[in-house]
Amino acid sequence: MGQPEYFGCPIFESCGAVGCLSFILYLCIMEKKAINFVSLGPGGADYVTLQAMRSLSEADKIYCFAVNGMSHAADTIYETGIENCKVAKIDIPMSSDRNMAKEIYRHTADIIETEWHEGMSIAVATEGDTGIYATTHYVMDCLTEREIPVRQKPGIPSFIAAASIAGLHLVKLKERLLVVPGLITEEEIEQYVENGINIVIMKLSKATENIHRCLQNHPEYIYHYFENIGAEGEKAEKHITDTDELKKMDYPYFSLMIIQKEKE
């Protein structure tokens, strides 16, 4: 007679069949109850993956962060047809003093923890990808510290969607790619580009002056500017390469730029 498939499992050998099966049941429960951190992509329902849609549809409640009541994540969810009543927006102050924001993250984690213990299925949604400059990670860290299971659902990063819109080959052969936030100087941009590193600068509003200087001093570089990727209507997405136009612009928060050295 053959041995059971779980024979030889360390848990089975130490706890027996009942203990092993109980542990497997526990894992199944935790997998089902894990809080999903859902990536929505750069904007617009078309960029939301099937996996993300499944997580949003199965959730009893969906949390999104907002600024002054406005939330790109919530707007994207509304576009998908998910019931609006499931979406809860949490307002985050835009300030260099992060203490208030951190307190809001902790408070949000408190609420989610309570609802999770009550058996609710919870999702926390963010634009872009949960692993790339996502504010939701602060809440995820709080929950992880409390040993509450979490899962990340990947999405399409904005710079990947941007490259597709422009028909760009972000990197090839021995080229390298660097993704940075808006806190970058003109000197750093020059250093990276001259060393064959293609740059993606996120959150351009923080780098407006430095980029203007770079545009002035290095017209030989290739610049691709993107804004509101995936959006339609009044705030439709933009893709601009004209350096004269870019020199005059004030860049909003939801914008990015790809800078490359002109190919020889």
Name the domain boundary from 132, 151, 170.
151
- Angle (CA) 257-176-131 rounded to 5° is 65
Q: Are residues 242 and 117 in the same domain?
A: no
pLDDT digits (tens, 9 = 90+) for 43-102: 889 999 999 999 999 999 999 999 888 898 999 999 999 999 999 999 988 766 778 889
pLDDT digits (tens, 9 = 90+) for 187-220: 999 999 999 999 999 989 989 999 999 999 999 9
> pLDDT-derived band of residue 230, with 50, 70 and 90 as boundaries?
confident
In a domain, 23, yes or no: yes
**Total domains present in the chain:** 2
Please tell me the predicted confidence (pLDDT) of residue 4.
47
Q: Are residues 202 and 97 in the same domain?
A: no
> pLDDT-derived band of residue 10, with 50, 70 and 90 as boundaries?
low
Phi, psi (deg, nearest 5) at residue 145: -60, -25
Range of 56's domain? 12-151
CATH number for the domain spanning 37: value is 3.40.1010.10
SS3 label, residue 67: strand
Provide the β-strand partners of residue 36.
123, 151
Q: Are residues 144 and 43 in the same domain?
A: yes
Name the domain boundary from 101, 132, 151.
151
Q: Are residues 146 and 40 in the same domain?
A: yes
Tokens of 237: 């997405």
In a domain, 193, yes or no: yes
In a domain, 7, yes or no: no
C-alpha to C-alpha distance for 264 and 220, rounded to whole angstroms: 11
Q: Give the DSSP H/E element, type plus range, for residue 38.
A: strand 35-39
Please tell me the predicted confidence (pLDDT) of residue 234.
66
